[in-house]
Amino acid sequence: MHSIEYSKSMSMKKLQILGTGCSTCERLATMTEAAAKALGMDFVLEKVTAIEDIMAFDIVAPPALVVDGEVKVSGRLPTEDEIRTMLSE
C-alpha cells in the first residue's frame, strides 16, 4: 500500500483506491487526489493493491473508491463531478 497525506488540520478523510495498479486504477487515484485538493479537503490517500486487502471490502470489481471506510463506487471510473460529490458527502 502507498499513502499520500495532505493535511492542514486534524479532521482528515481517509481515501482509498482499491485496485491492482492498472491504468484505470491510477487514473482514479489521480482524479481523486485532484478533487480532494480542489475541495480544500484534508486527506490521506492510500492505494490498496494487495488482492487480500481488496477482497476485504467485498467489491464487485476494481477500481473502487472508499471514503472513510465506505465504498462509494466500484467497477467503473466515475466522472470528476461524481468524485467531488462522493468526497463531499
- Which member of 15, 17, 25, 86 is catalytic? 25
Whether residue 22 lies in the annotated active site: yes
Q: Which residues contact 15 (CB under 8 A, 6 or more apart)?
A: 32, 33, 36, 43, 44, 45, 46, 65, 66, 67, 87
The residue from 1, 4, 22, 39 that is catalytic is: 22
In the annotation, is 34 catalytic? no
The set of catalytic residues is: 22, 25
